[in-house]
Structure 1
Amino acid sequence: MRGLSRASLAEVEERFNTVAGSADLGTLADELIAVAGLLDREHGLRRNLSDQARPAAQKADIVRSLLSGKVSTATLETVVAAVEAKWSRPGDLADALERLSVIAASAEAEGQGRLDDVEDELFRFGRILAANPELRRTVNDATVSGDRKRELLGSLLADKVAPTSLRLVTQLAAYPRGRSLESGLDEYGWIVAQQRERLVGVVRSAIPLDATQRQRLAAWLRTTYGRDVHLNVEVDPKVLGGFSIRIGDDLIDNTIAGRIEEVRRRLAG
């Protein structure tokens, strides 16, 4: 989000934080993404609720008449805050509600002491999808119902991942919002990491890193970036030796494959 929407998101997050503390965070997460899905489907409603020319009180009244008695108080007040704000484009309203849904789920996981598990599990499931074309086709197939996708993912992941991980994965499958499940998992992973103001580093290595190596690498990156960096490690034999780290747009390439490619580029030049 940019400009007006970025400022509005910060204001809505503040109001969200005041109501989320006493809410059932799992319910709040589920209801917010459901409202975002409703706005995606009902284009006329979305336009009316994001129309900057329409008085904020009028938009709030529409939301209350539509959702009162159907969602929790925390959800209702969050949605009211969102429609009272001004957005650069109509889609930013639904995007904001989805982001707050992920933040609510993250807060639930943090309260359970499982936020690290959620980060790891979202990343790992993305790699499972990449390696399983049939599963990837099914969960990304628009003709397969959201309920069927939830059932499938529940059978695969129940009792194997944190409840919040299952919630977020099934949420993405049921409400893809124009994305593949893989790209949605990456996006959610960044939002989860931001809840502790951490960066996410994707490490590619020829062999798994042991606990000591991960700790040393994390400490070096913390010193380099001035912030904690959560490490997601991919084992990739193609790197031959060494490792590479991608953090946002930054790439630290210490692989043998990377050095060979650099030599090739220099020779070609």
Structure 2
Amino acid sequence: MRGLSRASLAEVEERFNAVAGSADLGTLADELFAVADLFDREHGLRRSLSDAARPAEQKAQTLRILLEGKVSTAALETAISAVSVKWARSGDLADALERLGVVAASAEAEAQGKLDDVEDELFRFGRIVAGNLDLHRTLADPAAPAQAKRELLTTLLGGKAAPSTLRLVTQLVVHPRGRSLDGGLEQFGSLVAAQRQRLVAVVRSAVAFSEEQKQRLAAWLRTSYGRDVHLNVEVDPRVIGGFSVRIGDDLIDSTVAGRIEEVRRRLAG
């Protein structure tokens, strides 16, 4: 989001924080996702409610007529706050509401003591889908009915993953909003990690890390970055030896494969 939208998001987040405390967080997440999806489908409505020239109270009244009695007070108040501020582009309105839906789902997981589980499960689900071409094709097929995708995800994750994980994955699969599934899982994973202001590190290694090794690496990264770091460890035989760590745009590569590639680049140059 650009400067204007970032400032507006901060304002809406403040209102969200004020009303979310007494809400059922899982329900709130679902409702915010539903409102974001409504704005994605109804382009005219989205443009009208994000029009900076329209009075905020007029837009709020329109939203009350549409949503009152259909969503919780917390969801309605959050949505009213979102249409009452200015956005750099109309799509940022839906983006903001989806983002707050992810925050609500993350808060639900934290309240249940399952925030770490959700981070791990989002990452593992991404790896499973990446390794199963048929599953990836089915979940990414825009022609596949939404209900069929929901039922498939419930079969795959219901009772096996945290409720928040199923909620987030379902939103990504049923409403990709122009994202790849991999990209969406990474985006949501970062937002979940931000619930405790942690960074997410993707670690690639030829062999699995022991719990002690994970703790040592997490402690070193915490010292280096000044923030807690959640590790997603991916075993990849192509690494050959050593390991690499990617945090955002930063890459720490101590793999044998990485050193070989560096030598190749130097020789080519």
Match runs of 1:224-263 below 5 Å: 224-263=224-263
Cα offsets for 1:175-217 (capped at 9, x unmatched): 1111122211111001001111111000000000000000000
Structure 1 unaligned runs (5+)? none
Q: Secondary structure at the match of 1:113?
A: coil
TM-score scaled to structure 2, two decimals? 0.99
For residues 255 and 15 of structure 1, the distance between their equivalents in structure 2, rounded to whole angstroms, comes to 46
Deviations 1:3-23 (A, max 9, x none): 100000000000000000000
CA RMSD of aligned residues (A): 0.7
Q: What is the CA-CA distance between 1:268 and the residue it aligns to?
A: 2.3
Equivalents in 1 of 2:74, 2:263: separation in Å? 58
Please name the residue that 1:9 is paired with.
Answer: 9
Q: CA deviation at 1:145?
A: 1.7
**Mapping for residues 30-179 of structure 1, pairs under 5 Å:** 30-179=30-179
Give SS of 1:233's match. Answer: strand
Name the residue aligned to 1:222.
222
CA–CA distance in structure 2, aligned partners of residues 10 and 60 of structure 1: 19
Instruction: Deviation per CA, 1:113-149: give whole Å up to 9, x if none.
Output: 0000000000110111110111111111111122111
**Superposed, which structure 2 residues align to 1:194-209 within 5 Å?**
194-209=194-209
* Partner Cα separation in structure 1 for residue 81 and residue 140 of structure 2: 32
Moved over 4 A (4+): none
Q: What is the letter of the counterpart of residue 11 of structure 1?
A: E
Percent identity, aligned pairs only? Answer: 74
CA–CA separation in structure 2 for the residues paired with 1:99 and 1:261: 38
Task: Provide, for residues 215-243 of structure 1, a one-character-per-residue CA deviation record: whole Å limited to 9, x for no partner.
Answer: 00000001111111100001000110000
Distance in 2 between residues matched to 1:97 and 1:107, nearest whole Å: 15
SS in structure 2 at match of 1:203 = strand
Amino acid at match of 2:223: T
**TM-score (normalised: structure 1):** 0.99
CA positional deviation for 1:264: 1.7
